[in-house]
Amino acid sequence: MKAAVWTDYNKVELQEVPVPEISSTEALVKVHSAGVCATDLEVITGRFSYGRPPHILGHEIAGEIVAVGADVEERRIGERVVIETSIGCGTCRECKNGDRHLCSQMEEIGTAPHQGGYAQYVKAPADNLVLIPDNVSYDEAGIVESVVCPVGGLMRLGVRFGETVLVYGVGPAGIAFIQGAKAMGAGKVIAVARNDERLQRAKKFGADLLINSKKEDVREKVMEFTGGKGAGLVCEAAGSGATTRSAFECVKRAGRIMLYGIPNKDQANEFSSLDIIMNQLEVYGVLGNPHVWEPLLTLVSSGRINLKDMVYTALPLSEINKAFELMEDPVKKPIKIVVHPWEE
């Protein structure tokens, strides 16, 4: 089969590799669409240390089951599925509670030793396969993983009906927070970013107020919009020290802050515990969530979450390096790109 193999830092090559062999509890999936994730770009360039080459990356995967192991009962050949990529030990408390993403031994499809979805076929535990609704395309399903974490955080913590939600960042996670908050009953959503062109796309996905943090005072604009109270829920998806500090300045007293963006190590301590205590704040970390895949796909199927317009373009697997080049553009970086392993 053909696969885009990460062979060295800053180098990805299209190669012929063996089709994966499945165990009795696994399924073989023919990949129809794989979302290209910014994290993989960071890994390939060496900016983020997460495994070593050679390896097949790709953890946003949708396709068709073409084979199942002898012990697989719930999944069938021919089913359209998206792959939930976290793999736990199966025996710890977290795994038994259904929280395999919190397993201390958690591994992920797309990270060694598990080959990923930038290939024509990928194998996965059958329990990790989630059915795709008939009216949801492979390209939409192929980027579900990038939306699961933000929307999963909102589902876990809840959005209070009518409250104002402030979102930092308008990449895939930021757009997911905006859409998820609106779908769950937010009154108004404020989007903050550093570029006008990227900010405008947030409006398309439901943002009510756009703030350019390079040109405007974010706290002043938020307070003006909220009558001096601040936002009830703040979602930090940009991952910078400046936006984290700003989040604590713009949340209302007794409000909630969700931290999702990963800051650099030297920016990881950008708020004071005194702020949390004196303002009675609730601060949450947001990570993947296995319980969210089916509810999220239901929201997509019903039209409450728009994944179709998040996909900028689809490229053949042979052009995956073009996808990475497009994602390096700091101004026009697409929300999402998918690759099609079976197209020439």
Read off the pLDDT band of 277 (50, 70, 90): very high
| C-alpha of 67 from chain center | 28
Give the pLDDT of residue 72: 96
The DSSP bridge partners found for residue 80 are 64
Beta bridge partners of 234: 166, 257
Is the pLDDT at 48 greater than 80, yes or no?
A: no
Mean pLDDT of the chain: 93
Nearest to 322 by CA among 31, 12, 55, 51: 12
pLDDT at 297: 97
Q: Give the pairing type, strands 11-16 and 2-8.
A: antiparallel
CB 142 within 8 A of CB 94: no
Q: Strand 188-193 to strand 209-212: parallel, antiparallel, or no bridges (unpaired)?
A: parallel
Count of C-beta atoms within a 10 Å radius of residue 285:
8
Q: Is the peptide bond before 316 cis (omega within 30 degrees of 0)?
A: no
Question: Could you tell me the two tokens for 85?
Answer: 């990529």
Q: Sign of dihedral through CA atoms 100, 104, 110, 115?
A: negative
Mind giving me the DSSP string for 195-260?
Answer: -HHHHHHHHHTT-SEEEETTTS-HHHHHHHHTTTS-EEEEEE-S--HHHHHHHHHHEEEEEEEEE-
User: Bigger pLDDT: 236 or 50?
Assistant: 236
Choosing among 3.90.180.10, 2.60.40.420, 1.10.10.10, 3.40.640.10, the CATH entry for 2-143+307-340 is 3.90.180.10
**Is a pLDDT exceeding 80 seen at residue 266?**
no
- What DSSP line would sit under 10-72, residue for residue? TEEEEEE-PPPPP-TTEEEEEEEEEEE-HHHHHHHHTSS-S--SSB-----EEEEEEEE-TT-
What residue segments make up the domains of the chain, in order of their start?
2-143+307-340, 148-285
How many Cα neighbours within 13 Å face the side chain of 107?
Answer: 13
**278, 248 Cβ separation under 8 angstroms:** no
Cα separation, 247 vs 271, whole angstroms: 9
Structure tokens that stand for 73 in this block: 């009962």
> d(Cα 195, Cα 192) in Å, to the nearest integer?
9
15: pLDDT strictly greater than 90: yes
| Predicted confidence band of residue 267 (pLDDT cuts 50, 70, 90) | low
Which tens digits make up the pLDDT trace of 84-140?
A: 999 999 999 999 998 999 999 999 999 989 999 999 999 999 999 999 999 999 999
Which residue, among 33, 24, 103, has the nearest Cα to 61 in the 3D structure? 33
Domain 148-285 bears CATH identifier 3.40.50.720: yes
291-333 pLDDT tens trace = 899 999 999 999 999 999 999 999 999 999 999 999 988 777 8
Residue whose C-alpha is closest to residue 194's, from 247, 242, 147: 242
pLDDT of 268 above 70 = no
Q: What is the mean pLDDT of residues 245-274?
A: 85
**Cα(85)–Cα(290) distance, integer angstroms:** 9
SS3 percent helix, strand, coil of the chain, rounded to 5, is: 35, 30, 40
